[in-house]
Amino acid sequence: MRYAVFSDIHANVWALRAVLEDAEKQGAGQLVNLGDILYGPLAPRETYDLLRAHDVITIQGNQDRIIYDATDESRAVLPTLDYVCRDLGKAPINWLKNLPKTEAFDGMFLCHGAPGSDMTYLLEDVSSGHAILRSDAQITVTLSDVLSGLTLCGHPHIPRHIRLTDGREIANPGSAGLPAYSDDLPFPHVMETGSPHARYLILDIQDGRYELSFRTVSYDWDTAARRASHMGRDDWASALRTGRIR
Ligand SMILES: [Mn+2]
């Protein structure tokens, strides 16, 4: 089976469309989505409609949770959250709420952040303000309850493929829809891929071995950035055009 694995679409329907087209060209037979799907000042409802038109194994992420947990109070202080909720309507929000937080199949384990937390960076230490790869021992402890040979995670938007000394592997496809961002938690930090391309990965499993090909896909990022600016989010527009935080 050839899988196409993507994550962190963040309502970027233009990037998702390009990823789906590329995955089809690559002959992917099953799509896998690792969460943070519909939150962003872009096109939440169109992203939902496009995704639902495909057969996708999907888990939810932390920024999906803030959509279905939104209150009048949180929507009042976060205009982007308010826009996302209005654009989506009830059924898509209910769909998000019912998505699993983890999944396991074909010898693989899926989580958005880390096994017990959609907010934890499994592979990255950000206490310095930038993403530093965690130690083999630290990752091994975090994955102590996971028996799968391959763990697939999203969340930091940084593509990676790690092999632990015990032979287990971890892969993050990077972000389909948002190549850079900054966040204040758990420490103020920036994540930057340095290019505007959509990222995902092609995964083949053969004789118990994992063969990964990371894909870097061009798409119409100017249109996505214009939408972000139109929504009052020049920070997103800049990140979408450059893959950097200025
Ligand atoms: Mn994300």
- Nearest-angstrom CA–CA distance, 217 and 156: 18
CA of residue 42 to ligand 1 center, whole Å: 14
| Mean pLDDT in residue range 30-35 | 98
CA of residue 178 to ligand 1 center, whole Å: 8
User: What CATH number was assigned to the domain covering residues 2-242?
Assistant: 3.60.21.10
The two tokens of residue 226 are 């214009």
CA of residue 60 to ligand 1 center, whole Å: 10
CA of residue 242 to ligand 1 center, whole Å: 17
| Mean pLDDT in residue range 114-118 | 96
CA of residue 11 to ligand 1 center, whole Å: 10
Residue 187, classified by CB atoms within 10 Å of its CB into exposed (0-12), middle (13-18) or buried (19+), is exposed
CA of residue 200 to ligand 1 center, whole Å: 13
**pLDDT of the residue at 141:** 97
CA of residue 125 to ligand 1 center, whole Å: 16
CA of residue 236 to ligand 1 center, whole Å: 13
**pLDDT of the residue at 208:** 84
Question: Is pLDDT at 233 greater than 90 in this prediction?
Answer: yes
For 119-132, how does the pLDDT look when each residue is reduced to its tens digit (9 = 90+)?
A: 999 999 999 998 99
Give how far the C-alpha of residue 135 lies from the chain's centroid of Cα atoms, to the nearest Å: 22
Residue 77, classified by CB atoms within 10 Å of its CB into exposed (0-12), middle (13-18) or buried (19+), is exposed
- Nearest-angstrom CA–CA distance, 226 and 236: 10
- Of 8 and 246, the structure prediction assigns the larger pLDDT to 8
CA of residue 207 to ligand 1 center, whole Å: 32
Check: CB of residue 220 under 8 Å from CB of residue 14: yes
Question: Is pLDDT at 246 greater than 90 in this prediction?
Answer: no
**pLDDT of the residue at 40:** 98
In terms of DSSP H, where are the helices of 2-160? 13-25, 44-52, 62-68, 72-77, 79-88, 90-97, 136-142
| Mean pLDDT in residue range 208-227 | 97
Band of pLDDT at residue 155, cut at 50, 70 and 90: very high
CA of residue 142 to ligand 1 center, whole Å: 20
- Nearest-angstrom CA–CA distance, 81 and 142: 31
- Nearest-angstrom CA–CA distance, 28 and 3: 5
CA of residue 36 to ligand 1 center, whole Å: 5
For 73-115, how does the pLDDT look when each residue is reduced to its tens digit (9 = 90+)?
A: 999 999 999 999 999 999 999 999 999 999 999 999 999 999 9
CA of residue 27 to ligand 1 center, whole Å: 26
- Cα 151 to Cα 68, 112, 168, 173: the distances in Å are 26, 10, 8, 11
Residue 230, classified by CB atoms within 10 Å of its CB into exposed (0-12), middle (13-18) or buried (19+), is exposed
pTM of the model: 0.97
Band of pLDDT at residue 27, cut at 50, 70 and 90: very high
